[in-house]
Amino acid sequence: MRTKASFILLLLLLVPLASASEVGFENENALGEQGLNIRAGEVSPNLESILLVGDDGYIHMISASSPGDRSQDQDIDSSRSARFNDVSWHPNGQTALIAGDLGAALRYTLSDNSIQPVNGAGTVGSIELTTVSWRAGGDLAFFGAKNGNIYSFNEGEGMSQLEGTMDSEITDIACHIEHNLCVASTLNDGIAVIDRTREVTWLDGTSGYTWMAADCPDPTYRKCVAFGSGRVHVSIVLDIEDASRSTTEKVLELLEGSTDFIATSRGYDGTSLVHLAPMESVRYKTSLDEVFMHMEAQVITDFDPEVAGQRIALMWETGEDDGWMITNEGLIIDIFPVESRESLGIMETIVFAAVAISVPGVIIGLIFMNSSYLQRKYRQLRGFEKKE
């Protein structure tokens, strides 16, 4: 009976004092326009503004630190009706590139809020541009197209189609934060690495998956990551000296849940926040090559049923689990941590220390109580029994 009671006590002591981090939600003042379909957005390099793009030539600027304050908004007239699919700020934060339907390759200029076609945009014709990204040095940007083309751009050279591309839609282009290397994800042709000289190398073992998004979130690692349909992800190990020798690690699958990867946002401290359809997110950590639940679909829809059927357009953070989300229809939701092991109070810390000290003693006690040999040796040492 004593052994059984001790075993139950041990189990109780081993129960975690706090659950894993969870997030809470609070509605901010929504954008308010009717019929919005925001496709993408990006935080400016100075972390002050967010440029949003979407259907019907939609371009809009909001505050990154006070996204619910409508007095800080700037509605930007694109004078176009094309759908805009992606946006990328130049590293200097003074301009941004926009990619869209009907060959829309545009530049936004912060100083006067103007929108103009980039040099050489006419060479693209009416091909739909799906994604755009500046590389670290700010000397080149890359546009991806629905027909599989990849174009490089700088103002002096204009738009130039890269050689060695395939036929499948370019779903995303992500560039490393510190090095002038980029990766491109596609629907059917796998993953490619673009080196400093704009040479395209396709990575072995990636063409059997449908890749939806890519990111290079942590500057301390020479790695990027791609996320694909079927809840798979793969780490891409970049060879800085010879990008053609870059490799991939094992393709991993997120087993929990049933929603699917569709896009990424940059998370706090070198992490990626991966959007899942219809309304869910996970956090990817490069150092661990693992994903962790960030925002569960049932929890957010229970908080606000209006978000059901909408999708995440952008997420951004000022701390881990502390930031905002904007949906494609313009709802803005504040996300904040509600429980974390790091936020233990004084009493919890005392209890935690007591548990840390007592658990080894309980284990040793259980071993002793279940060992007649140890009990006999103890009695002999105390002089209760004579040595045999």
Query: What is residue 33's predicted lDDT score, i.e. its pLDDT?
Result: 80
Query: What is residue 354's predicted lDDT score, i.e. its pLDDT?
Result: 52
Q: How crowded is residue 272: how many other Cβ atoms within 10 Å of its Cβ?
A: 28
DSSP letters along 13-39, please?
HHS-SSPSPEEEEEEPPP---TT--EE
User: What Rg value do the Cα atoms of the chain yield, rounded?
Assistant: 27
Pairing of strands 211-215, 271-277: unpaired
Query: What is residue 32's predicted lDDT score, i.e. its pLDDT?
Result: 84
Distance from C-alpha of 314 to C-alpha of 28, rounded to nearest angstrom: 15
Q: How crowded is residue 132: how many other Cβ atoms within 10 Å of its Cβ?
A: 26
Q: Do the beta carbons of residue 265 and residue 313 sit within 8 Å?
A: no
Distance from C-alpha of 289 to C-alpha of 124, rounded to nearest angstrom: 37
Instruction: Classify residue 124 by burial, with Cβ atoms within 10 Å: 0-12, 13-18, 19+.
Output: buried
Helix extents (H) in 173-259 = none
Enter the pTM of the model. Answer: 0.83
pLDDT means per 10 residues in the chain (388 residues)?
A: 43 36 90 91 98 98 98 96 98 98 98 97 96 98 98 96 97 98 98 98 97 98 97 98 97 88 97 95 96 93 92 97 97 88 42 49 58 60 51
Query: What is residue 366's predicted lDDT score, i.e. its pLDDT?
Result: 55
DSSP letters along 127-187, please?
PPEEEEEE-TTSS-EEEEETTS-EEEEETTTEEEEPSS--SS-EEEEEE-SSSS-EEEEES
Backbone angles phi, psi at 237, to 5 degrees: -90, 115
Distance from C-alpha of 32 to C-alpha of 49, rounded to nearest angstrom: 18
